[in-house]
Amino acid sequence: MTVIPIKSTGSRFPYKNFVLGMIILQHAFENYLNWRQMKRLQQNRKIPSELKELNISEEEYAKSKEYTRAKLRFEIIHDSFSVLLQVLRIFFLFGPWLWNLTGKILESYGYDATNEYYRATLLLILDSLLDKVVDLPFDIYFTFVLEQKFGFNKNTPLLFIKDEIITLVLKFTLGPLVLCVFLWAVDKGGDYFYIWAEILVIVFVFIMLWIYPNFIAPLFNKFTELPDGTLKDALYKLAEKVGFPLKKLFVCDGSKRSAHSNAYMYGFGNNKRIVLFDTLMNHLEEKQIEGVLCHEIGHWKRSHTQKQMIMTFIQIFVLFYVYSFFRKEASIFLDFGYHEESTFLGLSLFLMVFSPLQFVFTLVSLKMSRKYEFQADEFADGLGYGDELIHGLIKIHKENLSNLDPDPLYASFHYTHPTLVERIRHLNAIKTQKAKKE
């Protein structure tokens, strides 16, 4: 698979200016959403009645707003800097310069500079290093200043450095391997490459679903089986009641990095495992943990994960299929300053040009995700865990200083979950309907 020189063409669509315009337009819209969110945070709003009735104090409400404001300011600065850098890179043709540099580096070490696998791998490594250099100051500030200020950071400089090194090693090993296999599939797939590329993506996703929890996650955290006791017995009993094939219950030492809490499940077929962060166990009572886990099992019962995966696979297929019409479009390369044609560059440029399509996909995914959260809440309530779930969610939001009253428009473009108030109202509405029927 070789890199091919491109000859100049006649008049062409201004792809570069289109992408720059879309980046600036999207950033302007994000700033509008941020402005709405910040304005809502600065208003002297009263605690929503649903939260006040559940004993959330004025002090807790104010502290969550303060934390949300601090994070929002950080995100505005970080995102603005990232967008500015992206615009400058595109405008001043940094991408073509870096691509040409990979060829010179390979030639200087006696490698074939026309080999796309070599060029793409080296470019991936250089880009990852540059991104890390740019983001590292922001990561350090967020972890050791912002999170520290609000009592969430439990990380140490040594552990932080270790995590960064492991992450880079994984990127430099798995990244090039996956990239080269993908480029090979596209090259050998011919006119119907998008079918083979889609199959490869599906296979890769399922492989990673097995590799990540078993080999990658343990590089960062320690996982131990939940000790025998009433909680373990109750969770296994719950799983048996709903037919959930639970094989193992693990506790993750999330507290060594952060005071934030979490829980998740993984596994294929009849081999499901549940992971509880130790912080979650410290924050919630046993019945509330049951309620939260019942909600998670509700996602499995309603096949939400499978539906989201299918939706993602459809979106990827659509992108590959549309890309097949632009695969050999030389003007795209030329307009961005490239004078060589390559599959890796072509797909990268295509994804930039069609970012509006990806934006639409993201909105659809967010809407689906929020719908599924409501359904999982309904499942938990149907098994009698409605009150435990509400109180568990309240505690999780309080402990994490989550935004208790976000701007509705901002939430619709950013939140994968409905707001806490929306979830409580939804569960209360279900209870009211049940009472009327009875």
Burial class (CB in 10 A: 0-12, 13-18, 19+), 114: middle
Tokens for 385, please give them.
């865990």
What is the distance between the alpha carbons of residues 127 and 121, in angstroms, rounded to a whole number?
10
Q: What is the C-alpha separation between 220 and 146, in angstroms, rounded?
A: 22
Provide the β-strand partners of residue 2.
115
CA atoms within 13 A on the CB side of 296: 22
Looking at the annotation, which residues are catalytic?
296, 377
- In this predicted model, what pLDDT tens digit does every residue of 352-364 receive, in sequence order? 988 888 888 889 9
Q: How far is CA 55 from the centre of its chain?
A: 32
> What residue type is assigned to position 251 of the chain?
V
Residue 327 token pair = 């695969």
What are the pLDDT tens digits along the chain (438 aa)? Answer: 566 676 665 557 888 999 999 999 999 999 999 999 999 988 877 787 777 777 778 888 889 999 999 999 999 999 999 999 999 999 999 999 999 999 999 999 998 888 989 999 999 999 999 999 999 999 999 999 999 999 999 999 999 999 999 999 999 998 888 888 888 888 888 888 889 989 999 999 889 888 888 899 999 999 999 898 998 999 999 999 988 888 888 999 988 888 888 888 887 777 788 888 988 888 888 999 999 999 999 999 999 988 999 999 998 999 889 888 887 788 888 889 998 888 889 889 988 988 888 888 889 999 999 999 999 999 999 998 988 998 888 888 888 888 888 999 999 999 999 998 899 888 888 887 877 776
Q: What angle do CA 50, 364, 417 make, to 5 degrees?
A: 25
Q: Which two tokens stand for residue 292?
A: 């939260």
Q: What per-residue confidence (pLDDT) applies to 438?
A: 63
User: What is the model's pTM?
Assistant: 0.89
Neighbours of 158 (CB within 10 A): 8
Closest C-alpha among 200, 111, 168, 187 to residue 347: 187
Q: What amino acid is encoded at 333 in this protein? A: F
pLDDT for 125 equals 92
Q: Are strands 272-277 and 4-5 parallel, antiparallel or unpaired?
A: unpaired
Please say whether the dihedral angle defined by the alpha carbons of residues 397, 400, 404 and 409, taken in this order, is positive or negative. Answer: negative
Contacts (Cβ under 8 Å, ≥6 apart) of 281: 231, 251, 289
Residues 6 or more apart whose CB falls under 8 angstroms from that of 426 comprise: 374, 377, 378, 418
